[in-house]
């Protein structure tokens, strides 16, 4: 049995990230965090003994201290918000640990320590692949002044590696499908590029 969470807390968290991300338009926006949250809930449905409060808050807050977006240290934004919401110290640590386990760069090859970390990491990675992943890669590239070629390189550097790095069985299944779609996209992209 998974635990349950109170709705007002979730709504306040969504309101917080909506404000925080209002000026971010590089595929890292609030819509990304909301998709990660919904995907994390779906994946959690297939697992037992998930701490849903930790899972939900970690999914919604997973990018609030991302170094690419904010110059905070030690999960400062997440901690400030959780303190305001009177979340106890133990839960706060569990949430911050989960958030810190999600990052691809920081944790290359390492598996998250907690089940909640595994699920949120899977949800975040699923949002980087498939049709959504393609859209995000070009949105990110465009907002950083990169060419199409540079964004396409990112598929080979990172996105095509993600399907083999999923933690949960249900994410692995979804990743397979999204991976094949990206391969099809890249084939057609090459075909069109070389024909002109």
Contacts of 107 (CB under 8 A, 6+ apart): 101, 121
Return residues touching Ni ion (CB under 5 A).
63, 124
**Contact string 61-90 vs ligand ADP (x = CB under 6 A):** --x--x-x----------------------
At its nearest, how many Å lie between ligand ADP and the CB of residue 58? 13
CA distance 58 to 192: 41
Which residue shows structure tokens 């590029």? Answer: 193
Closest to Ni ion by CB, 63 or 116: 63
- For residue 166, report the phi and psi dihedrals to the nearest 5 degrees: -75, 145
Partner from Ni ion, ligand ADP, none contacting 130, C-beta within 5 to 8 A by type: none
CA distance 156 to 144: 18
CA distance 92 to 106: 20
Closest to ligand ADP by CB, 106 or 184: 106
Q: Residue numbers of the site for ligand ADP (CB under 6 A)?
A: 27-28, 63, 66, 68, 104, 124, 128, 133, 136-137, 140-141, 151, 154, 159
């Amino acid at each position: 049995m998974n635990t349950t969470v109170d709705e007002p807390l979730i709504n306040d968290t969504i309101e917080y990230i909506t404000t925080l991300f209002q000026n971010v338009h590089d595929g890292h926006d609030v819509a990304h965090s909301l998709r990660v949250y919904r995907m994390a809930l779906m994946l959690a449905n297939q697992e037992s003994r998930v701490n849903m409060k930790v899972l939900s808050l970690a999914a919604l807050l997973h990018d609030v201290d991302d170094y690419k977006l904010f110059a905070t240290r030690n999960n400062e934004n997440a901690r400030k918000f959780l303190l305001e919401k009177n979340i106890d110290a133990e839960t706060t640590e569990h949430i911050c640990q989960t958030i810190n386990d999600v990052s691809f760069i920081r944790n290359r090859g390492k598996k998250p320590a907690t089940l909640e970390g595994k699920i949120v990491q899977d949800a975040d990675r699923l949002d980087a692949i498939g049709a959504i992943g393609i859209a995000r890669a070009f949105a990110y590239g465009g907002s950083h002044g990169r060419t199409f070629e540079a964004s396409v390189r990112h598929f080979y550097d990172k996105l095509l590696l993600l399907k083999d790095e999923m933690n949960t069985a249900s994410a692995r299944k979804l990743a397979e499908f999204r991976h094949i779609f990206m391969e099809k996209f890249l084939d057609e992209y090459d075909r069109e590029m070389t024909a002109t």
